[in-house]
Amino acid sequence: QVPAWKVYSGSAWEEQETLRVEAPLLKEEIGVRVRRGPSWKWGDQDGGPGSAGVTIPCPRTNKTNGWVCVRWDSGKEFEYRVGKWGAYDLIVVEQAPLMKEEIGVRVRRGPDWKWDDQDGGPGSTGVTIPGSPSTGWVSVRWDSGQQAAYRVGADRAYDLSVVEQATTTTPTKISAPLMKDEIGVRVKRGPDWKWGDQDGGPGSTGVTI
């Protein structure tokens, strides 16, 4: 089992503090964030050690089961083995792209981001909200207050990554805004909070009644 603080460079496992590494990609799955893995033999086709990409639907080729296509953050697309001849070219990493229009998901800029600092700058987060302009797009309200729409499949591009906090124990539950009136939901102050310490102060929680 690969330690949570190691990443495969192509020749050895190297320390990588900011990204949790999971297991090799074992089957053809779409929308998975990946890096080069234990059977890698493709040089710098991925953009070099540490580069990441996302698995995408393959165009029709002569290759069958045991292969998956990846679009690297460099924009290049290639096919890789996920079980073919017992080889696994890829490992799964966290912060997968948002692949469809989902509301209430906390996100940050993703693999196909091209919108400068519209999100508030690197590391900024926001939440998906209703009002996407068309299929393959989703609207986001950033914590800065800015709102805009981003690609989740349009032009085969994915502008957003789902925010997940790396943990070696139990997964961390991701907070999202309360989007409608629901009773019995535990809540805390959200991205548009402007009510001072009415809630008891930062980090305080309550329940809807």
Q: Report pLDDT for 167.
A: 30
Q: Report pLDDT for 20.
A: 42
Residue with tokens 């309550």: 206
Q: Report pLDDT for 149.
A: 95
**Are 98 and 77 spatial neighbours (Cβ–Cβ below 8 Å)?**
no
Q: Is the dihedral of CA 67, 71, 73, 75 positive or negative?
A: positive
Which DSSP symbol is given to 25?
P
Q: Report pLDDT for 32.
A: 77
The 67-72 sheet, strands edge to edge: 21-24, 90-93, 33-36, 53-56, 67-72, 77-81
**Are 34 and 92 spatial neighbours (Cβ–Cβ below 8 Å)?**
yes
Q: Report pLDDT for 8.
A: 44
pLDDT by 10-residue block (mean), the chain, 209 residues: 39 42 74 85 91 80 78 88 90 76 85 89 83 89 92 89 47 55 72 86 73
Which residues have a Cβ under 8 Å from the Cβ of 14 and sit 6 or more positions away?
A: 6, 7, 8, 49
Residue range 151-180, pLDDT digits in tens: 998 988 889 888 743 233 333 344 567 766
Cα distance between residue 50 and residue 137, in whole Å = 29
Interior angle at CA 36, CA 159 and CA 70, nearest 5? 45
